[in-house]
Structure 1
Amino acid sequence: MSKPRDSLSSLMKLTLSLSIFTSLALLLLHIKPAPQQYTNKNFIKFLHQTPQDAHPERPIQRQTDTNISHIVFGIGGTAKNWKYRSRYTEVWWQSNVTRGFAWLDEPLNLTESSTRSFIPVRVSEDTSRFKFTCSYGSRSAVRIARIVLESFKLGMEDVRWFVMGDDDTVFFMENLVDLLSKYDHNQMVYIGGNSESVEQDVIHSYGMAYGGGGFAISYPLAKELVPVLDGCIDRYHYFFGSDERVGACVAEIGVRTIHEPGFHQVDIRGSAYGLLSAHPTTPLVSLHHLDYVEPLIPNKTREDSLRALHRAYKRDPARALQKSVCYDLQRNWSVSVSWGYTVQIHSRLITAKELLTPLQTFRSWRSWSEGPFTFNTREESDDTCEREIRYFVSDVEGDGEGHSTSSVYKRFDEGEREGCGDGAVVPKSVDVAAVKMDPLEWIKFKAPRRHCCEVINEHEEETESSVLQVRIRKCKLGESLTLPPEIS
């Protein structure tokens, strides 16, 4: 058993230790640590910057819906070709509504009464100081690559997007606005499309947005791009195109390309029918290179066929070219509708997978070969008797707000079908296809579903001048394009 004296001594030692510990703790609280000594002054500056000091930004805009007034267009062209090419811009440009300029290499001769100047025109800055070493290209690529820079320097107010295109690019404005509304314009965003021809993507880039089909750059990305663009253009002096230069400069900033299938470079030769009649389930945004393919509608000029398509588009923008497939099981017909453009009637039952695959009515852009393309294609038969009968839009009625629309498509015969047999001859009795579209709101961008359709006069007796009536409507729950087992 310990003695009381020993216990008292231990208690005093413990009390003394606690007092010393407490005193040291209080002393440390009042001592400020000496600053670390860094030799890199830039690093010290970086440590003391606030995010706003490091990269000052314009005030965040109110989150109102994006509309046409928030877009500035930069259209690249030449004074020499403007008289001819401007007819494409005239189709979609809305005077006093659309903002932007056509950027040309020299002033227009406005004394010519036929010169179209409905879109404001500006002359690009001199670019002779820049390097250009591409042996098979044109120096105009340097000038056109700088359109985004020159557009930004104009200092226009309330700009969310800069959209670039060529003088032969046709934009489908309402759909473009809806598409851009999907994205946050306060972030750095770069949107466009690929080339359809693999050979073009291999030579130039899979990763860029092709300029002819048009591409969009958000304001924050343009602000980041402008200070470095000229040096970047010089660095890539060996590139062919303006879009290739811009794509490389955006990649250096670290922004990825967002590919949207509604942008169409139309890097194909021949007929674009197969491509457009099997449009992906996404709104049509642009068309390019229409001078290099056959007229979109046979027996019409390029300009007249484009205007016919555009008139239909204006009636119901989001659903233009959207494809629906249905069957007339009574007559063993397959019917497909690419709304506002064409109707096809096949004299046999064909699976939906085949009908939704583009007919290869075209060849590749560079070598005029059979492919490859960036999408699957199906072969077009050389036998007229095996081909579908095609109908092209002739009239559309609607209010342009997605309500009920009626469209009429007239038959186009590609060749004689006499002696083809009953199966191929029967559809010839249909001269006109009439398509009724139900008033429904298509959810354009949130996992859209292809519309369903049905033949509504399949039991009527045919006459020499009959009309095939088709209704496009919302698909029912559990409905699919499945053929009966004995057929499929």
Structure 2
Amino acid sequence: MSSGVDSVRDPLDNAWKTLRFPIIKPRELLLLFLKAGIAVSMLLIITLFITLYNQPFYPNNNHTTMKYMLQQKTPEEKASTNISHLLFGIGGSSATWQTRRQYSELWWRPGATRGFVWLESHPPDNTTWPETSPPYRVSGDTSVFKYTCSYGSRSAIRIARIVKESFELGLENVRWFVMGDDDTVFFTDNLVTVLSKYDHNEMYYVGGNSESVEQDVIHFYTMAFGGGGFAISYPLAKELVRILDGCIDRYAEFYGSDQKIQSCISEIGVQVTKEPGFHQVDIHGNPYGLLAAHPVAPLVSLHHLDYVDPIFPNTTRVNAVKKLITAYKMDPGRTLQKSFCYDLRRNWSVSVSWGYSVELYPSLRTSKELETAFETFRTWRTWHDGPFTFNTRPVSVDTCERPHVYVLDGVRNVDGDMTRSWYRKTVDASGKECAREEYARALEVQYVDVYASRFVPDKWKKAPRRQCCEIMDGADGVNSSVVRVKIRGCRRFESVTPS
């Protein structure tokens, strides 16, 4: 007779014996693993393609979709942004081009710059288009679009569509569409320097505001003003042209093309990236104070030059800009850049705006004072003395409180990468000179020589800092009619302090 334990074990043993495990042969096991591997691989491939398909795609012409998605960039795509990657769209008119082209021809470089002047109609049959001008295109018909601004011009519609018509040309290797007016002067090397800071594969809208607050209030602080020029990256242009025509009708009440463009870009959700080197020049009068107090940023553009005094005295407006361009060509990144230094033995302050002017004060002035623009101009709309989008200081009626001003006379190369620019004293607008005894020595100075090594553009990719300078002549200098200044990078822990 079995025990109680055995009577319990027997049913369990019987149940265990009823289980049957299949015997899998090695060949069948191998096939099973192969099928599972193929299934997993297919799943991964499908997942990869779904992921890549949902990535944004903004190819330039002749670039295949697969190349872009797999990030197999050509040497051209890997190259740093240069002038060939910019396509300019200049708003012009066949009626005014012959008088306005003198500004475009100052910066246009045939064979290097790319783009077109867009006109409302073909020039007269007897007109020979200048080889020194950008080539022209005729804008499409805009009669079907609405325009309800009572004080504006329908040409704003045509000019707003330049970015669309430029994009639809389908030109290769375009990274940026740059818009401007026929009286905009671009400093293209500096424009390239500025745009190369940004990833052209992202959606960027780069430009600047008006200098007059009243203009920004009317036309938006969020807008890049068209006369000063603005740049739109290829991906943003691709999105913009898709909605532009309908958007122009939605904003029919807006005055200008730049207002319409900004409003359409706002629907995409892109904000303006402000660069202080774009200058609308929405001022009247003498632009000296604006230019002599240029921000620490590359000079990119100047506009409205027919509406202000010549930027250099005793010459025409165009020749004055040519003079500035001679300095710019020598050292693009340094043009208009400020440097301050002191001569503590003579109690002098010197402020250099390279390639433009030098101010000599026969007293010690703070850096804050020296960096603030003289208010030599008035607002654009009402001709008032402000407000402006930057600080200004009045020009004193007392000649003893005004600096001696020296304007660019010439510039040349010396010692390889070193330049020498020299500046000639101007006659005070009042025709008077300070009679104080301590000013006598300063009145003897007729020229200021400025030496500087060429500015390396890569410096603009770092945190901006004004460069330092030093006066090379001592109090017992041999030639009392000339002051020599050397501009250099600031030393560690160096500050510009009048003590």
- Is 1:447 the counterpart of 2:486? The answer is no
- Say which SS state the counterpart of residue 189 (structure 2) adopts: helix
- Residue 266 (structure 1) aligns with: 281
- Residue 409 (structure 1) aligns with: 423
Q: For the Cα contact (< 8 Å) 2:101–2:133, is it kept in 1?
A: no
- Is 1:101 the counterpart of 2:113? The answer is no
Counterparts of residues 18-417 of structure 1 (less than 5 Å): 52=53, 56-58=57-59, 59=63, 60=68, 62-109=77-124, 111-112=126-127, 118-398=133-413, 403-414=417-428, 415-417=430-432
Opposite residue 444 of structure 2, the aligned amino acid is S
**Whole-angstrom distance in 2 between the partners of 1:156 and 1:7:** 87
Deviations 1:240-280 (Å, cap 9, x if unpaired)?
11011111111111212111111111111111111111111
Post-superposition offset of 1:458:
2.6
TM (normalized to structure 1)? Answer: 0.87
Deviations 1:307-355 (Å, cap 9, x if unpaired)?
0001100000011011000011111111010000000001110001110
Q: For the Cα contact (< 8 Å) 1:193–1:215, is it kept in 2?
A: yes
Post-superposition offset of 1:56:
4.8
Query: 1:7/1:353 Cα in 2 relative to 1: closer, same or farther (>3 Å)?
Result: farther
Q: For the Cα contact (< 8 Å) 1:417–1:424, is it kept in 2?
A: no
Unpaired segments ≥5 residues, structure 2: 22-48, 69-73
**Whole-angstrom distance in 2 between the partners of 1:361 and 1:461:** 33
Deviations 1:21-52 (Å, cap 9, x if unpaired)?
xxxxxxxxxxxxxxxxxxxxxxxxxxx96653
Q: For the Cα contact (< 8 Å) 1:429–1:462, is it kept in 2?
A: no
Unpaired segments ≥5 residues, structure 1: 20-47
Post-superposition offset of 1:13:
9.7
**Whole-angstrom distance in 2 between the partners of 1:205 and 1:258:** 14
Opposite residue 418 of structure 2, the aligned amino acid is S
Post-superposition offset of 1:4:
7.0
TM (normalized to structure 2)? Answer: 0.85
**Whole-angstrom distance in 2 between the partners of 1:56 and 1:461:** 65
Q: For the Cα contact (< 8 Å) 1:164–1:214, is it kept in 2?
A: yes
Q: For the Cα contact (< 8 Å) 1:282–1:445, is it kept in 2?
A: no
**Whole-angstrom distance in 1 between the partners of 2:448 and 2:130:** 40
Q: For the Cα contact (< 8 Å) 1:384–1:416, is it kept in 2?
A: no
**Whole-angstrom distance in 1 between the partners of 2:18 and 2:373:** 91
Post-superposition offset of 1:106:
1.6
Q: For the Cα contact (< 8 Å) 1:86–1:116, is it kept in 2?
A: no
Opposite residue 140 of structure 1, the aligned amino acid is S
- Say which SS state the counterpart of residue 430 (structure 1) adopts: coil
Of 419-428 and 206-215, more deviation after overlay is shown by 419-428
**Whole-angstrom distance in 1 between the partners of 2:58 and 2:384:** 49
**Whole-angstrom distance in 2 between the partners of 1:193 and 1:483:** 33
Q: How many residue pairs end up in the alignment?
A: 458
Question: Which residue among 460, 473, 481 is the counterpart of 2:476?
Answer: 460
**Whole-angstrom distance in 2 between the partners of 1:15 and 1:194:** 89
Q: For the Cα contact (< 8 Å) 1:351–1:483, is it kept in 2?
A: yes
**Whole-angstrom distance in 1 between the partners of 2:138 and 2:416:** 40
Backbone CA RMSD of aligned residues: 2.9
Q: For the Cα contact (< 8 Å) 2:296–2:466, is it kept in 1?
A: yes
Q: For the Cα contact (< 8 Å) 1:278–1:357, is it kept in 2?
A: yes
Post-superposition offset of 1:408:
0.7
